[in-house]
Amino acid sequence: MRCERFTLERDPADTAGALRDLIPAPESVSEMVAEIIAEVRSHGDTALLDYIGRFDTGGAPPQPIPVPPDELEAAAGTVDPRVLHGLERAIENLETVLVGWRAGLGRSVQLGENRVALRHAAVSRAAVYVPGGRAPYPSTVVMGVVPARLAGVEHIAVCAPPTRDGDVDPVVLAACHLTGATVVYRMGGAHAIAALAYGTPSVVPVDVIVGPGSLYVQEAKRQVFGQVGIDGFAGPSDLLALATGDADPDTLALDLLAQAEHGSGTLVVAVSDAPDLLERLAHRLDEAPDTGAVSALVQATDAQQALALAEAFAPEHFQLVGAGAEELADRVTRAGCLFVGPGAGTAFGDYIAGSNHILPTNGAARFASGLGPEHFLRRFAEVRIADAGELARSAAPLARAEGFEFHAQSMEARIRENGPA
pLDDT at 49 over 60: yes
Lowest mean pLDDT, pick from 5-14, 263-272, 312-321: 5-14
Give the CATH number of domain 30-230; options: 3.40.50.1980, 3.40.50.300, 3.40.1280.10, 3.40.190.10.
Answer: 3.40.50.1980
Fold match between domain 2-23+236-344 and domain 30-230: yes
Distance CA 267, CA 17 (A): 13
Cα–Cα dist 335/114, whole Å: 20
Q: Of 231-235, 266-270, 292-296, 360-364, give the lowest mean pLDDT range.
A: 231-235
pLDDT in tens, 208-222: 999 999 889 999 999
**Catalytic member of 177, 191, 262, 317:** 317
2 pLDDT above the threshold of 90: no
Tell me the pLDDT tens digit for each residue of 72-108. 999 999 988 887 887 888 788 788 888 876 776 556 7
Length of the chain equals 421
- Is the pLDDT at 340 greater than 90? The verdict is yes
Number of Cβ within a 10 Å radius of residue 414:
15
Domain boundaries, the chain: 2-23+236-344, 30-230, 381-421
pTM, two decimal places: 0.83
* 35 burial via Cβ count (<10 Å: 0-12, 13-18, 19+): exposed
Residue from 191, 311, 316, 375 carrying the catalytic annotation:
316
CATH (one of 3.30.365.10, 3.40.50.720, 3.40.50.1980, 3.90.550.10) for 2-23+236-344: 3.40.50.1980
User: Reduced to 3 states, what is the DSSP secondary structure of residue 218?
Assistant: helix
- Among residues 149, 218, 152, 214, which one has the least CA distance to residue 179? 149
Q: Bridge partners of 299?
A: 7, 272
Secondary structure of 44-82 in HEC code, one letter for each residue: HHHHHHHHHHHHHCCCCCCCCCEECHHHHHHHHCCCCHH
357-416 per-position pLDDT tens digit? 999 999 999 999 999 999 998 876 667 787 788 778 888 888 888 888 998 899 899 886
Residue 113 is a catalytic residue: no
Q: Is the pLDDT confidence value at 326 over 70?
A: yes
- Please state, rounded to an integer, the average pLDDT across all residues of the chain: 90
The more confident residue out of 81 and 125 is 125
Is the four-CA dihedral 149, 151, 152, 156 of positive or negative sign?
negative
Where does the pLDDT of residue 418 fall: very low under 50, low under 70, confident under 90, or very high at 90 and above? very low
CA distance 72 to 70: 5
Beta-strand (E) ranges in 276-351?
294-299, 317-321, 337-340
Does residue 317 carry a catalytic annotation?
Answer: yes
